[in-house]
C-alpha cells in the first residue's frame, strides 16, 4: 500500500460500504517510511523499545502530535500515567498504520495497566490489520474475558473466525452477540455469512434479507446476498443485488460486517490524529449518510487544522449549505477565493447561492468567471446557459448551450435548453429540427416528445405546424404521463386540428388540477387559452414565458443569505 498523506480505512470495502454508525480507522502516513525503524528505549528494561518513525512528508499537525506523544512516557510520574502515555502513542501509531511501532507501545501500556482492556482491544485490531488472525482472535477473546457484555468484540470475533475459514466457531460467538442484541442487523448479516460459508444458501438469504429490512441503506449486504441467490440458481435476483452492491463489492465482506455497529473505541481511534484528511473523510462519511451537521463539523475541524486549504473551505461551504446555513457557506467561499482567486469551484458554488437567493445577474457573473477558470466543466456551462435563458438573454443562452454540447454531446438538459432558446427566439423551424433529431434519443424523457408536439401544434410558423403528427406524439405521452403540461399540450393539439370541444375539456382538466394543487394563479393563466378554445381559436404561443420549461433554475428563497449584507454582495 502506498504511504501518502491519506486516510486508510481498515477492515472495509470501498467508501460506500463503510456503514459503521460512527466507526472509521484513520491513518495518515508518509511516503516510503519503514514500518518498524530502530528506536531507543523510552523506559526501564522491562519495557519494550518504541521507535518513532520518520515524520517527513506528514502534515505538520500530525508531526507535532506524534513528537509530543513520543515524549509523554518519560514525563509520566506513575505506572498509570506511563500506561496511558504509551497507550496514547500506540493509538496514534496504529491510526497512522505504523503497526510495527504501535505494537510495542500498546504492549507497554497493557503491561503497565493489565486491567485496561482498551490496549488489549487495540492490539487485537493491530494483529487483524497485519493479517495475524490467530493472534487477533486470542486478544479479542481476552477482551471478552474482561468485558463479557461488550458487543463489538463478539462481532469482530465472528468476522475473524469466518476469515479463518471456521464458520462453526464464528457461530458460537454470534450466539453470544444475539443474546445481547437479538434484533441487531449486524448479527443477522453475520449469520447470513456463516450460513453461506456452510453452504446453507436458503438460510443465508433469510438472514441477509432480514438485515436489509432493518438497514435498507446498508449496501454491503447486497453482495453476499447476490452470491447466495446465485448459488441457489436465482440469477435474476442475483443480478439485481449485484447491481445494488455498487463499487467495491468484490467479495471482501468486511465493510458490511460493521453495519449498524457503534464501536466507541474504534470511533475514538478514528479521530485521534489531528489531520485534515482524517476529518475530511469523516465528513464524507457523514455526508454519505445525510448527516449534514456532522459533515459540517468535521470539515470545520479539517479547516481549523489547515486553514490555508481553499478546496477544504469549499467543501465546508457546501456542508454548511446542506445543513441550512447559507450565510456561513458564503463566508467560507469568500475565504476560499481570497486564498485562490482562480478556484472555479468556489465561484461556481457562490453562483448557485446567488441564484437561489434571487440574484441572477451576480450569479451569471460568477458562472462566467467559473467557466473561464474551468472551461472544461459542462456543469458550470449548463448552469450559466440556464441562467441566461431564465433572464431573457436567449442568444447568449443558445451559445452557452452549444458550448455544453461540445463538452458533453449527450447532455439531454443542454439539448432541451437549446430547443427552448430557439422557441423563445421564434426560430421554430430550427427548434423543430432539433427536437425531431433529439426526441428519439431520449425515449424515456416525455419532455422532448411533449415539446415537439407543442411546436407542431402551436407554432406561429405555418410551415412548421403538423397537427396530426403532434397528436400521434402526445397520444403516446398521455398514456403514461398525466400532468398539467401534458393536458395543456393535448388541448393545443386538438385545437390545431379544429376539435375545440375536446380542447376545452383537456384545458379544463389542467385548470382543475392546478386549482386542486393550490395554484389559483396558474389556473388563471391557463384560463386565457381556455377562453381562446371556447371562441374556436387555436393557440399560437407554445409556452407562456413563466412556464417551468422557460424558467429553468432552482426554487428562489430571497431570505437565503439573510437580511444583512454579506461581503461580496
| Residue 557 lies inside a defined structural domain of this protein | no
Residues 231, 123, single domain; the answer is no
φ and ψ at residue 98, rounded to 5 degrees: -90, 75
Domain count, the chain: 3
| Residue 554 lies inside a defined structural domain of this protein | no
Residues 424, 340, single domain; the answer is yes
Distance CA 85, CA 482 (A): 69
Residues 331, 420, single domain; the answer is yes
Q: What is the mean pLDDT of residues 42-56?
A: 72
Residues 399, 415, single domain; the answer is yes
Q: Residue 422: which CATH number?
A: 1.25.40.10
Least confident of 180-184, 255-259, 279-283, 302-306: 255-259
Residues 461-518 have pLDDT tens digits of 999 999 999 999 999 999 888 899 999 999 999 999 999 999 999 999 999 999 999 9
DSSP 60-127: HHHHHHHHHHHHHHHH--SHHHHHHHHHHHHHHHHHTT-HHHHHHHHHHHHHH-TT-HHHHHHHHHHH
φ and ψ at residue 266, rounded to 5 degrees: -75, -30
Residues 167, 19, single domain; the answer is yes
Has residue 239 got a pLDDT over 80? yes
User: Would you say 330 and 350 are in contact if contact means Cβ atoms under 8 Å apart?
Assistant: yes
Distances (CA, A) of 536 to 499, 501, 503, 505, 508: 9, 9, 10, 13, 15
| Domain endpoint, select from 481, 501, 529 | 481
| Domain endpoint, select from 129, 157, 181 | 129
Residues 453-471 have pLDDT tens digits of 999 999 999 999 999 999 9
Distance CA 426, CA 460 (A): 8
Is pTM beyond 0.75? Reply is: no
| Residue 323 lies inside a defined structural domain of this protein | yes
| Residue 540 lies inside a defined structural domain of this protein | no
Q: DSSP assignment, residue 54?
A: P
Residue in the structure block whose three cell numbers are 489531528:
274
Please return the burial class of 544, using the count of CB atoms within 10 Å of its CB with bins 0-12, 13-18 and 19+.
middle
| Residue 367 lies inside a defined structural domain of this protein | yes
What residues contact residue 78 under an 8 Å CB cut-off, 6+ apart?
Answer: none
Q: How far is CA 252 from the centre of its chain?
A: 21
Q: What proportions of the chain, in percent to the nearest 5, are helix, strand and coil?
A: 65, 0, 35
Structural domain containing residue 473: 276-481
Q: What is the pLDDT of residue 246?
A: 59
| Domain endpoint, select from 422, 449, 481 | 481
| Residue 524 lies inside a defined structural domain of this protein | no
If one compares 33 and 272, the residue with the highest pLDDT of the two is: 272
Q: What is the pLDDT of residue 56?
A: 73
| Residue 569 lies inside a defined structural domain of this protein | no
Residues 426, 458, single domain; the answer is yes
Residues 5, 82, single domain; the answer is no
Residues 442, 308, single domain; the answer is yes
Amino acid at each position: 500500500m502506498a504511504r501518502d498523506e491519506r486516510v486508510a480505512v481498515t477492515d472495509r470495502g470501498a467508501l460506500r460500504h463503510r456503514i459503521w454508525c460512527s466507526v472509521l480507522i484513520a491513518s495518515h502516513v508518509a511516503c516510503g517510511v519503514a514500518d518498524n525503524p530502530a528506536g531507543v528505549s523510552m523506559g526501564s528494561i522491562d519495557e519494550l523499545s518504541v521507535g518513532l518513525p520518520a515524520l517527513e512528508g506528514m502534515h505538520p499537525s500530525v508531526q507535532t502530535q506524534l513528537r509530543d506523544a513520543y515524549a509523554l512516557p518519560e514525563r509520566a510520574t506513575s505506572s498509570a500515567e506511563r500506561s496511558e502515555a504509551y497507550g496514547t502513542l500506540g493509538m496514534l501509531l496504529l491510526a497512522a498504520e505504523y503497526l510495527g511501532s504501535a505494537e510495542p507501545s500498546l504492549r507497554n501500556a497493557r503491561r503497565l495497566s493489565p486491567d485496561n482492556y482498551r490496549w488489549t482491544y487495540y492490539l487485537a485490531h493491530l494483529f487483524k490489520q497485519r493479517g495475524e488472525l490467530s493472534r487477533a482472535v486470542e486478544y479479542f477473546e481476552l477482551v471478552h474475558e474482561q468485558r463479557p457484555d461488550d458487543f463489538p468484540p463478539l462481532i469482530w470475533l465472528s468476522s475473524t473466525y469466518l476469515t479463518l475459514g471456521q464458520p462453526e466457531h464464528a457461530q458460537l460467538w454470534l450466539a453470544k452477540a444475539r443474546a445481547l442484541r437479538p434484533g441487531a442487523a449486524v448479527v443477522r448479516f453475520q449469520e447470513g455469512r456463516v450460513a453461506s460459508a456452510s453452504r446453507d444458501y436458503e438460510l443465508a438469504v433469510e438472514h441477509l434479507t432480514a438485515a436489509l429490512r432493518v438497514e435498507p441503506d446498508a449496501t454491503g449486504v447486497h453482495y453476499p446476498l447476490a452470491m447466495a441467490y446465485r448459488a441457489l440458481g436465482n440469477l435474476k435476483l442475483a443480478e439485481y443485488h449485484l447491481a445494488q452492491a455498487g463499487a467495491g463489492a468484490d467479495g471482501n465482506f468486511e465493510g458490511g460486517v460493521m453495519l449498524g455497529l457503534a464501536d466507541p473505541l474504534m470511533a475514538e481511534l478514528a479521530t485521534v490524529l489531528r489531520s485534515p484528511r482524517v476529518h475530511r473523510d469523516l465528513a464524507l462519511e457523514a455526508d454519505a449518510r445525510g448527516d449534514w451537521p456532522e459533515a459540517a463539523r468535521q470539515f470545520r475541524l479539517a479547516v481549523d487544522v489547515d486553514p490555508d486549504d481553499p478546496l477544504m473551505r469549499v467543501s465546508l461551504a457546501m456542508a454548511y449549505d446542506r445543513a441550512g446555513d447559507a450565510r456561513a457557506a458564503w463566508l467560507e467561499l469568500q475565504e476560499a477565493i481570497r486564498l485562490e482567486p482562480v478556484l472555479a469551484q468556489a465561484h461556481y458554488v457562490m453562483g448557485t447561492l446567488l441564484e437561489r437567493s434571487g440574484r441572477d445577474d451576480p450569479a451569471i457573473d460568477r458562472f462566467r468567471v467559473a467557466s473561464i477558470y474551468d472551461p472544461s466543466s459542462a456543469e458550470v456551462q449548463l448552469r450559466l446557459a440556464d441562467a441566461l435563458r431564465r433572464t431573457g438573454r436567449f442568444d447568449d443562452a443558445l451559445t452557452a448551450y452549444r458550448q455544453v454540447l461540445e463538452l458533453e454531446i449527450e447532455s439531454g438538459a443542454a439539448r432541451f435548453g437549446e430547443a427552448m432558446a430557439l422557441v423563445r427566439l421564434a426560430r421554430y423551424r430550427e427548434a423543430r429540427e432539433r427536437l425531431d433529431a433529439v426526441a428519439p434519443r431520449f425515449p424515456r424523457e416525455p419532455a422532448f416528445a411533449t415539446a415537439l408536439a407543442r411546436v407542431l401544434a402551436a407554432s406561429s410558423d405555418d410551415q412548421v405546424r403538423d397537427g396530426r403528427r403532434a397528436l400521434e406524439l402526445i397520444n403516446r405521452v398521455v398514456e403514461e404521463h398525466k400532468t398539467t403540461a401534458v393536458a395543456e399540450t393535448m388541448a393545443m393539439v386538438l385545437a390545431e386540428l379544429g376539435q375545440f370541444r375536446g380542447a376545452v375539456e383537456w384545458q379544463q382538466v389542467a385548470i382543475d388540477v392546478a386549482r386542486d394543487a393550490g395554484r389559483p394563479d396558474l389556473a388563471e393563466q391557463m384560463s386565457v387559452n381556455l377562453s381562446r378554445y371556447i371562441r374556436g381559436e387555436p393557440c399560437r404561443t407554445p409556452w407562456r414565458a413563466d412556464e417551468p420549461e422557460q424558467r429553468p433554475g432552482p426554487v428562489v428563497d430571497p431570505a437565503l443569505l439573510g437580511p444583512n449584507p454579506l461581503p461580496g454582495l
